[in-house]
Structure 1
């Protein structure tokens, strides 16, 4: 097959990520949109670099990211091709019967499409219960009963999490529970101070409140958290822990650059600050190593299948620094005795299933389709997003305030989350909204809602100040 004539346009999808990351995202978008098809040959590295206006090293790194993720295939002397897609599980459940064609459109929080995982979970749950010894159903969970789940988690960890073994992993009741457990393990004193990103997942604030800790905001620039502000807050307030999501900030979609992670890690090491790295959105095209890899004695990694398979699977995993693994185990036992064998055995069975990879790929493809609609519709607004991540961050034009836009959208039957939901009390106000993908909506209804939001943005109500 001859080389494709398709050329990604990096300027059409402006954002703040490194060029190799943007190029990889553009290729993914081309595949999701059908411009690139399985088996199609891509241009050689030097040709692509010249056409796009980047260095050959940048193009090579984008290809390598996508090859490692299985999106592309490559061979010496053969070239680079779009990977042949795996056969989807049979049958793939598009679940049109669960689509709600009436009522409001909920884009408030991400909702995953059911592309076979619902049926697979139900089938395996019945098998797990049928095969489980009776005494296992009559005992508290333990490190023995959740061993298979921890092994499955270990097998799925990216190398950038750093060296780990099964004893470093603690099963939790979801990713949020993992964050709380870690904080309960490491926070000290009557009034501990935590740091968090100025625009971030509000679960960090909830966890701080539960642990009676004060949470202070660290602003970001194009590379990630401001290292000078970070160090000043540590010095002035004796912060003990920093909560972040280095691969996918929720809600902006921005990743912390590798260089900035190194800077933050160096400061944290000097001052003994723990870093919790929330990786529940599990970005495929990794930007750099986790803080756990950069801080072997102070870095913590949090993972969960909630954002890739189903949020109904209330299981998560905390990967501790080796020196703190035993303390985290004690915290988990003291809080809930562990995670039910019904869940840990089900998770292990799901990870062993030959169907699960195809389902996860199908889910990500649907997410990319919907995100692509939003990004294309609002391309002039430089929306923030990441491949396979079910939300888009939209900074509003000066004609709109965030809460007014949310209220106006609600009047049209579309529910969004305002930037205010992601800001700390002392954060600088940003007038933006997060548009979440709702996989339970039929695609045409989702597309119509996005078009309606564009119309709303372009027709702000007149204001008169008195």
Structure 2
């Protein structure tokens, strides 16, 4: 079959991967494709249709989820025995048979197939599936080396201290003898004791508020979801950095938003570009900006102080609401104090500040907070009460005692020093191993990730698959791009926090070997377009 007859509309509201999957299902229904037929290799079909290999890969993932096709590393993707397809060309997902049974899989009801069609596959799920497919290439029994986990180092967390804090929390709650603590809580904002502590804690970032301006949440993701539910409607546009936090992208996209991207450089979000966009379309433009100013994810760069001030000025001038996501301000690698929050420069309530302690206590704690003007916070509280109660006081009181201990600041210093050493080890290894290939990378000022740009003629999915065959797991950068571009298709997210310097050196050597293999196969000159400076 000539797949070039598939008419893909790049400017349509339906994603390209969904369009391609629908075309293939239509061809199956009309008999143009037969059960057992092998679909073209991902890169070959991408070239035929003039689209990214990741788009084809996502389309094949959709077909697999809907029971239309099945793929495996080394064999390819094949159409399954043809199920009944609805008039909307909706394939029913196949169900696993009992072990040893020769009966065909049971077909789910029509409503379930229709529901799957409506549900959008999140970026995080697509990334996870991509990585799972890639690691099947690693036949060895040795453990894989995960170079893109995005995780902190669990060995740096103290369970003994957490146990002590739990004990102290139980004692303090018993001494209070407040029966509201055993119910759903006296305040919808969450534990007053922890909010009082946090009001003092965030002053180090230039944020001066009282306890009534703080709402406790189950981590940053719940905070982002509350904001999206409360302030956004399908079709709304949002300003966002050109590479961003994958969970935030998923949350906002579930609300049906449209992205207006702002480029990044080594000093963070380019506020002068944002200013031009605000001036160019004063009426029909996004009213909200989502930004990670410190340890930006996935690049690790931090917004320069003068740009923070400029961003606050733009918010006042254009009535722009800023969502300031702060997960890494304690994990800074330059200077002797954390960077001031954008909130510090905007005092009229146009900043919603999100704080998480998942990276400094441990991720399983799942506790964060939203800081906002009381009038705005009341809207978020009402939304939270619809589907959740106040954050459990057993958790909040334990976190209070954990953070309030003198050991916490000492632990932060140790964690920061350890990550800084690992960051430097990775930067040195990249310079030694990847500079000859024309690679470029961001220099993290905080956090534990950086973004690597590979030679332009290589696709990150191709690199991920080849790396997996060498026992190296990588995350393609395009999953972190709100709007996928050719530039984002040539990037990889690398994590240094959870690896020793020796592991980082070995991972970089393996990546260099992967690039050497692919460059020799392509037989094309090495060239890469830098996104960020490579000067330490």
**What is the TM-score of this pair, normalised by structure 2?**
0.61
Q: Which residue of 1 aligns with 2:143?
A: 103
Cα shift at 1:126: 4.2
Q: Matches of residues 360-439 of structure 1 in structure 2 within 5 Å?
A: 360-379=412-431, 380=435, 381-398=439-456, 400-425=458-483, 427=485, 429-430=487-488, 431-437=490-496, 439=498
CA deviation profile, 1:347-379 (whole Å, cap 9, x unmatched)? 101012222222222222222222121100113
2:228 to 183, 200, 214: 183
Find out whether 1:319 has 2:319 as its counterpart: no
Q: Separation in 1 of the partners of 2:339 and 2:156? A: 30
CA distance in 2, matches of 1:373, 1:458: 22
Kindly state the Cα deviation for residue 208 of structure 1 after the two structures are TM-superposed: 1.0
> Could you tell me how far 1:273 is from its partner in structure 2?
1.8
What's the offset of the Cα at 1:446? 4.1
Name the CA distance, whole Å, in 2 between partners of 1:399 and 1:206.
Answer: 28
Picking from 135, 152, 174, the partner of 1:112 is: 152
Map 1:220-231; keep pairs closer than 5 Å.
220-221=264-265, 223=267, 224-225=269-270, 226-231=273-278
Contact 2:430 2:508 in 1 (8 A): no
* Cross-structure match for 2:196: 151
Are residues 364 and 233 of structure 1, via their aligned partners in 2, closer, same or farther at CA, if it must alter by over 3 Å? Answer: farther
Matched with 1:96 is none
Q: Does the C-alpha gap of structure 1 residues 129 and 210 become closer, same or farther in structure 2, counting only changes over 3 Å?
A: farther
What is the 5 A alignment of 1:65-464?
102-113=142-153, 114-129=155-170, 132-133=173-174, 135=179, 138-143=182-187, 146-187=191-232, 191-221=235-265, 223=267, 224-225=269-270, 226-231=273-278, 235=282, 237-282=284-329, 283-284=331-332, 285=335, 289-296=340-347, 297-379=349-431, 380=435, 381-398=439-456, 400-425=458-483, 427=485, 429-430=487-488, 431-437=490-496, 439=498, 444-463=502-521
CA distance in 2, matches of 1:157, 1:145: 17
List alignment gaps of at least 5 residues for structure 2: 1-140, 524-536
C-alpha displacement of 1:145: 5.4
Give per-residue Cα distances to partners, 1:62-106, cap 9 Å, x unaligned: xxxxxxxxxxxxxxxxxxxxxxxxxxxxxxxxxxxxxxx941112
8 A contact 2:242–2:483 mirrored in 1:
no
* Equivalent pair of 2:440/2:454 in contact (CA under 8 Å): no
What's the secondary structure of 1:348's corresponding residue? helix
Larger-gyration structure (1/2): 2
Provide the C-alpha distance between the structure 2 equivalents of 1:264 and 1:387, rounded to a whole number of angstroms.
19
Give the Cα–Cα distance (whole angstroms) in 2 for the partners of residues 209 and 151 of structure 1. Answer: 34
Q: 1:250 Cα shift?
A: 0.8
Q: CA RMSD in A?
A: 2.9
More moved, 112-121 vs 299-308: 112-121
Count the aligned residue pairs. 364
- CA shift, 1:388, in A, is 4.8
CA shift digits 1:299-353 (9 cap, x unpaired): 1111111122211110011111344233333333333122111110111010122
Distance 1:186 1:294, change over 3 A: farther
SS at match of 1:249: coil
Q: Are the aligned partners of 1:269 and 1:295 in contact in 2 as well (CA < 8 Å)?
A: yes
Q: Alpha-carbon deviation of 1:394?
A: 1.6
Superimposed CA distance per residue, residues 100-143 of structure 1 (whole angstroms, 9 cap, x where no aligned partner): x9411122223322234222223322443465348456311343
**What SS is found at the alignment partner of 1:460?**
helix
Name the SS for the 1:462 alignment partner. helix
Deviation sequence 1:189-244 (CA, Å, 0-9, x none): 55322221111112221121233333322223454232245416763643121100
- Unmatched segments (≥5 aa) in structure 1: 1-100
Structure 1 residue 411, shift from structure 2 partner? 1.5
The equivalent residue for 2:120 is: none
Query: What CA deviation, in whole Å up to 9, does each residue of 1:407-444 have, x standing for no partner?
Result: 222221111211111112355523121111352x5654
> Is the contact between residue 300 and residue 318 of structure 1 (CA under 8 Å) also seen in structure 2?
yes
RCO (CA 8 Å, sep 6+): is it higher in 1 or 2? 1
